[in-house]
């Protein structure tokens, strides 16, 4: 795990951050929807106060020796992992300066274990961004420079690519909510892997402050989407092989706003 700290500084009444979670590209599979992917990348590049985190599975990275290999699934323009990650690097180049870091995904990690070559570490090095390994604890410190003493409000997020074979939406929701058992009472939890896009039901944690007031803290759970289409003509993917339900493509946009009274507002929308 990596612990990441970022400062968001300003003198305005409201401090803002647009956070995009970008993962499960599966470059190298012929069913990747590059139109949706390029819209997400353009949003990140053109939007002020925008950062992004890589959620893993950037390339499909399935070679002919792999039992998952299917020639009908391979993009003929980038059949090898080298070519796939080269294309990912080209896609990420325009937005590398806004990157918090890159997580491993299961496709990346399995290739690393099998062939002792870590493409995500290489990709992070080439882009000049942090390599986050399997999971990351991210702390944003919103610092308002007003008056003699700056005001600081923290927002904490835990991100993991995800590891689950759950088929039902309920099973996937259970898995993402399990993340709160690892680091409880955070503001948001991000998980990829299952190719769902958007929020799961939030959980409310209660506590009592020093003035004996009951305080509510909302834990938000965000699935980070993907870019691989299923059930496409003349192509095969694991989505139809396992008769999985198609999911919306794209990435979540997490809008964080910190007001003068240090009240944090978090809104989750979608880019697709």
pLDDT of residue 104: 97
Q: How confident is the model at residue 252 (pLDDT cuts 50, 70, 90)?
A: very high
The domain spans of the chain are 2-271
pLDDT in tens, 41-71: 999 999 999 999 999 999 998 887 777 778 7
Q: Which two tokens stand for residue 249?
A: 């493509």
Q: For residue 133, is pLDDT > 80?
A: yes
Write down the pTM of the prediction: 0.94
| Burial annotation 2-24 (CB, 10 A radius, 16+ → b, else e) | bebeeebeeeeeebbbbbbbbbb
Level-2 CATH architecture, domain 2-271: 4-Layer Sandwich (3.60)
The Cα–Cα gap between 212 and 237 comes to 55
The Cα–Cα gap between 224 and 247 comes to 11
């Amino acid at each position: 795990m990596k612990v990441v700290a970022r400062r968001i500084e300003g003198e305005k009444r409201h401090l803002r951050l647009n956070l995009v979670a970008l993962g499960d590209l599966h470059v190298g599979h012929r069913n990747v929807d590059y139109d949706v992917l390029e819209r997400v990348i353009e949003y990140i590049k053109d939007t002020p106060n925008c950062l992004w985190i890589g959620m893993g599975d950037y390339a499909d990275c399935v070679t002919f020796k792999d039992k998952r290999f299917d020639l009908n699934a391979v993009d003929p323009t980038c059949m090898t992992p080298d070519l796939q990650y080269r294309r990912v690097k080209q896609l990420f180049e325009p937005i590398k300066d806004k990157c918090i870091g890159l997580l491993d995904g299961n496709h990346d990690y399995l290739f690393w274990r099998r062939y002792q070559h870590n493409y995500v570490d290489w990709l992070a090095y080439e882009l000049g961004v942090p390599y986050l390994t399997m999971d990351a604890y991210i702390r944003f410190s919103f610092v308002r420079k007003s008056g003699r003493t700056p005001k600081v409000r923290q927002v904490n997020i835990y991100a993991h690519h995800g590891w689950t074979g759950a088929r039902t939406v309920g099973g996937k929701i259970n898995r993402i909510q399990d993340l709160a058992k690892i680091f409880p009472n955070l503001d948001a939890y991000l998980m990829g892997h299952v190719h769902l896009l958007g929020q799961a039901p939030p959980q409310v944690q209660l506590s009592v402050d020093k003035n004996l007031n009951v305080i509510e803290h909302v834990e938000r759970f965000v699935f980070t989407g993907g870019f691989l289409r299923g059930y496409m003509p003349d192509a095969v993917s694991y989505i139809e092989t396992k008769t999985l339900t198609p999911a919306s493509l794209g990435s979540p946009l997490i809008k964080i706003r910190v007001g003068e009274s240090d009240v944090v507002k978090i809104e989750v929308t979608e880019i697709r």
